[in-house]
Amino acid sequence: MTWLPRVQPRQARLGDLHRALGIGTLHGNPDTVVSGVHYDSRLVTPGDLFAALRGADFDGHDYIDRAIAAGATALLVETPVKQDIPNIVVANSRAALAGIATSFYGHPGNELCLIGLTGTDGKTTTSFLVEHLLRAAGLDTGLVGTVGIHVGGGVSYELPHQTTPESNLLQGYLREMVERDVSHAVVEATSHGLAMHRLDGTRFAMAGVTNMTHEHLEYHKTVENYWRAKAILVEHVAAHGGTVVLNADDPGSMSALPYATGATVITTSSAGQAADLRATDLSVRANGTSFTLHVDGVASQVEMPLIGGFNVDNALIAIGIGRAAGVPVDTMVTSLATVQGVPGRMQRIDEGQPFSVIVDYAHTPESLRKILTLLRSLQRGRIIVVSGSAGERDPTKRPLQGEVCAELADLSIFADEDPRNEDPERILEDIATGARRRGSVEGETYLKIADRRAAISRAFAEARPGDVVLLAGKGHERSIIVGYEHTPWDEVAVARELLHEMPAL
């Protein structure tokens, strides 16, 4: 697999891994040699340990025979097995996998300055900003996040539809970074990744919390549980006396403060709150944003090509991280002027059409509100939005998304995002319920077109000169999940194809 970490060959004794784990019962020969760690039986090669994980749809214990046939020499399981193979039995194999993987790869996080970023929105942009600022200071960097994984030396991987990789992959990427002489690594930490132990045992020196609103309640059940999961990252940092950067303007971000005891806390604000880093005199234009940065009583003028007040908030978090890493403020101010946009984030598509087309990953009520409000402030024409909501994910946010679209867009077209095993029409109707609550009328101010390509084509057909079409929800992603299948999808490429098919172009 092209996205698997490529590290120098490693081996470990099963008994040593069990001893380092400190829990569970070892059955079989402790001198069994392990040369790899996997939870997907299709990736197992001779000498690997196979971790049987229980998930929402599949149980790894059902694939033990397949893993053994592929050459697995040991197992990590939650129940005793009948097969004659060395194994470690634990109460939670997913949590134990983190300990096994961290030990197998030699605790690579201890050899890096690790920076974690979490929040409902802004993680990816902020992670890119942090990496940009660190590189401007001459540091060798790595990145694990939504749009890709950089391990140094110009080597990158794509891991579809999973921001925070499972622990064995994460530790492998971190080890590869160490082998490629990376000194600082930025890791996007999702609530799922934190709650599901993917980051357990990883030593973080710093963390930033962008914001916390409404997301993933299908898993966390309550907003409070969701916020608490995010705060696990802050606890990781505080445990080692690191630095935590919080957005003082956001109640969700500040809810992590009680968990930062023992850490150095840096606060940021662009809305007039008392904070260590402040932005004033914001100016948002169609080609960029400027603001005055206040740090330690010194004011600096910042110009950056990223658009929107929310990107000022992201920049402040990044500056706080950079400051904690020892990057001079003047270096950061200069480098922000040259930062590149993140793929699938406010990405403009220009094929000569008489209207604007923007691709963005916005898929929560708050992120949709931010970008639609921004476009409303910049555009004179109508706003047409194509938006959807993921299947088997938080259904309570769907009508909220519909309300935001109805409030801020002139025409909303609700389309597939990742329906998974849900009925696509049911998902679209959930969204439309919220739109109707805001007075939107089907056939006039909103449409339901499940097929995303057809929905985008309709949006372009409805657009007039001077309008803006926002394609929201897919951004950088390279597939649409239908059932268990990942159907190839490239929102930017599809938009370009459809624009070229228009008669006027």
Q: Domains of the chain, with CATH numbers?
A: 12-104 (3.40.1390.10), 108-336 (3.40.1190.10), 347-501 (3.90.190.20)
DSSP conformation class of 221 = S
**What per-residue confidence (pLDDT) applies to 1?**
55
In contact, 237 and 253? CB cutoff 8 Å: no
User: What are the pLDDT tens digits along the chain (505 aa)?
Assistant: 578 999 999 999 999 999 999 999 999 999 999 999 999 999 999 999 999 999 877 899 999 999 999 999 999 999 999 999 999 999 999 999 999 999 999 999 999 999 999 988 888 899 999 999 999 999 999 999 887 899 998 888 877 555 678 999 999 999 999 999 999 999 998 877 888 889 999 999 999 999 876 554 444 456 666 767 778 899 999 999 999 999 999 988 998 999 999 999 999 999 999 999 999 999 999 889 999 999 999 999 999 999 989 899 999 999 999 999 999 999 999 999 999 888 888 888 999 999 999 999 888 898 899 899 999 988 889 999 999 998 888 888 899 999 999 999 999 999 999 889 999 999 999 999 999 999 999 999 999 999 999 999 999 999 999 999 999 999 888 889 898 888 899 999 999 999 999 986 5
Cα distance between residue 238 and residue 205, in whole Å: 9
Question: What would the two tokens of residue 24 be?
Answer: 């569970």
Place of tokens 């935001």: 404
Rg (CA), the chain: 24
**What per-residue confidence (pLDDT) applies to 215?**
52
**What per-residue confidence (pLDDT) applies to 455?**
97
Task: Compute the 3-state secondary structure of the chain and give helix, strand, coil in percent, each to the nearest 5.
Answer: 35, 25, 40
**What per-residue confidence (pLDDT) applies to 164?**
79
Cα distance between residue 341 and residue 129, in whole Å: 9
Cross-strand partners of 13: 33
CA distances from 284 to 198, 267, 278, 360, 377 (A): 38, 23, 17, 18, 9
In contact, 114 and 203? CB cutoff 8 Å: yes
Question: Positive or negative, the Cα torsion across 313, 318, 323, 324?
Answer: positive
Residues, the chain: 505
Cα distance between residue 215 and residue 121, in whole Å: 10
**E strands present in 374-478:** 383-387, 411-414, 446-448, 468-472
**What per-residue confidence (pLDDT) applies to 406?**
96
Question: What would the two tokens of residue 246 be?
Answer: 């919080």
Coil, helix or strand at residue 248 = coil
Cα distance between residue 323 and residue 55, in whole Å: 40
pTM comes to 0.86
